[in-house]
DNA sequence: GGCCAGGTGATGG
DNA sequence: CCATCACATGGC
């Protein structure tokens, strides 16, 4: 079996990544075991199954069933680094957070956790839109239906591995094709519009990546269905902007309330005030606060 | 059964 | 510019 080792900046904790990746029973885009995760990646025209495991403070990438070229290996490495934010140096975040009443206990408990994102822009946008104003578990239900209806899959060792649907395919749908999966009418329109923008080249992660976060944010806000929350969420999870801050996020508010043990959720103004001491790391702070909401494994 | 969900756009003052 | 409302439906 082919494999390669990826170096990771310390501190890094792969187990923490696995906890995050295992948070929903309904997740269909990767499969975790106690010490590995497998994912089907689209590399060029191929669907390649990869498996990750921590080996001596490195990430070992294996290809359980595929022969891959050097070029493909490089593309997989790039995708894995983006997915798990492996190139980030967390030390400044830990130094900052050690003095913060909200972050200090979380950094202590989850040292080495990285934001886990969506390298694919279409996936990031669609997932954010699905998740607007509904419970996370309902969002996962809809996403599973969407992936199993319109995504591609391979069966390996009796297990199905799925990829997120290509924009090219969704661009051909009418809203009814998503209404059936319990998208709201408007969300169905947003998702199809975005798929069409991506397909015809008007919206591209590669093209946006050379711009500043402020410019990317402005471009995202121009998309119907993308408001401040979604734009910041996508900056954080797709463009790896550690300072992106989805300030109105209810999960963030809940987490702050729990951490402080208060009876009410904080106001936006109060959240802003906490954020002032996180400068440059607002996205990481948010991700760690989200982490506090799903158990202590 | 009522209220809340990892919000957004439209509408009206 | 700010407040309010419809959207859709599951989960608790």
Is 50 exceeded by the pLDDT of residue A203? Answer: yes
The answer as to whether A96 is a domain residue is no
Which nucleotides in chain C lie less than 7 Å from some protein C-beta? 7-12
| pLDDT, tens digit (0-9, with 9 covering 90-100), for A5-23 | 999 999 999 999 999 999 9
**Joined tokens for residue A26:** 């309904």
Q: What is the mean pLDDT of chain A?
A: 96
| Inside any domain, residue A115 | no
Per-residue pLDDT for A168 more than 60? yes
Tell me, yes or no, whether A232 and A132 share the same domain: yes
The domain total for chain A is 3
Tens of pLDDT, residue by residue over A121-157, are: 999 999 999 999 999 999 999 999 999 999 999 999 9
Is the C-beta of residue A104 closer than 7 Å to nucleic acid chain B? no
pLDDT in tens, A224-250: 999 999 999 999 999 999 999 999 999
State, as a whole number of angstroms, the distance between the CA of A186 and the C1' of B12: 22
Q: Are residues A220 and A253 in the same domain?
A: no
CB under 8 Å, gap of 24 or more: what pairs does A20-23 form? A20/A113, A20/A116, A20/A291, A21/A116, A23/A294
Nucleotide nearest to A138 (CA to C1'): C10
Cβ contact A239:A208 at 8 Å: yes
Confidence of residue A296 (pLDDT cuts 50, 70, 90): low
Nucleotide nearest to A221 (CA to C1'): B8
Position A297 scores a pLDDT of: 47
Which positions on strand B lie below 7 Å from a protein C-beta?
A: 4-10
- Both A126 and A233 in one domain: the answer is yes
Determine, yes or no, domain membership for A203.
yes
Q: Clarify whether A249 is annotated catalytic.
A: yes
In-domain check, residue A79? yes
Are A185 and A292 contained in the same domain?
no
pLDDT value of residue A294: 81
Residue A261 banded pLDDT, cuts 50, 70, 90: very high
pLDDT above 50 for A106: yes
On whether residue A93 sits in a domain, the answer given is no
pLDDT per residue over A62-93, tens digit each? 999 999 999 999 999 999 999 999 999 999 99
Q: Is the pLDDT of residue A295 over 80?
A: no
Query: Which pLDDT value is given to residue A2?
Result: 84
Residue A250 lies in a domain: yes
Any idea what the CATH number is for the domain that residue A22 is in? Answer: 3.30.310.20
> The domain containing residue A45 runs over which residues?
3-87
Mean pLDDT of A179-189: 98
Last residue of a domain, one of A213, A237, A261: A237
pLDDT score, position A126: 98
Mean pLDDT of A156-163: 97
Cα separation, A204 vs A197, in Å, equals: 9
Q: Please give, chain by chain, protein residues whose CB is below 7 Å from any atom of strand C.
A: A 133-135, 137-138, 141, 182, 184-186
Say if residue A134 is in the same domain as residue A223. Answer: yes
Is residue A255's pLDDT more than 50?
yes
Amino acid A254 CA to nucleotide B8 C1' distance, rounded Å:
21
Rounded average pLDDT over A159-170: 98
CATH of the domain at A134: 1.10.340.30
- Per-residue confidence band for A115, with pLDDT thresholds at 50, 70 and 90: very high
Q: Is A171 a member of any domain?
A: yes
Between the alpha carbon of residue A174 and those of residues A11, A83, A189, the distances in Å are 47, 31, 8
Would A220 be classed as within a structural domain?
yes
**Do A151 and A162 form a contact (C-beta atoms < 8 A)?**
yes
């Amino acid at each position: 079996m082919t494999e390669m080792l990826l170096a990771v900046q310390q501190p890094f904790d792969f187990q923490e990544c696995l906890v995050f990746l295992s948070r929903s029973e309904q997740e269909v885009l990767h499969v975790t075991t106690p010490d590995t995760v497998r994912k089907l990646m689209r590399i060029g025209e191929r669907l390649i199954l990869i498996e990750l495991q921590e080996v001596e403070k490195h990430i070992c990438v294996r290809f359980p069933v595929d022969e891959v070229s050097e070029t493909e290996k490089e593309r997989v490495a790039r995708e894995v680094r983006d997915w798990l934010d492996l190139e980030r140096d967390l030390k400044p975040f830990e130094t900052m957070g050690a003095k913060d009443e909200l972050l200090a206990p979380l950094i202590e408990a989850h040292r080495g956790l990285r934001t886990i994102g969506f390298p694919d822009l279409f996936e990031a946008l669609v997932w954010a839109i699905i998740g607007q104003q509904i419970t996370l578990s309902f969002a996962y239900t809809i996403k599973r239906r969407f992936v199993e209806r319109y995504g591609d899959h391979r069966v390996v060792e009796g297990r199905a591995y799925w990829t997120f649907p290509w924009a090219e395919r969704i661009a051909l749908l009418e809203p009814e094709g998503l209404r059936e999966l319990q998208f709201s009418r408007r969300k169905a329109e947003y998702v199809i519009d975005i798929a069409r923008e991506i397909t015809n080249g008007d919206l591209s992660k590669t093209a946006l990546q050379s711009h500043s976060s402020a410019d990317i944010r402005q471009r995202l806000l121009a998309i119907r269905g993308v408001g401040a929350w979604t734009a910041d969420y996508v900056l954080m999870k797709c463009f790896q902007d550690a300072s992106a801050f989805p300030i109105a996020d209810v999960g963030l508010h809940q987490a702050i309330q729990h951490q402080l043990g208060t009876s009410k959720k904080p106001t936006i103004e109060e959240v802003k005030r906490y954020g002032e001491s996180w400068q440059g790391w607002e996205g990481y702070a948010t991700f760690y606060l989200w982490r506090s909401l799903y158990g202590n494994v």
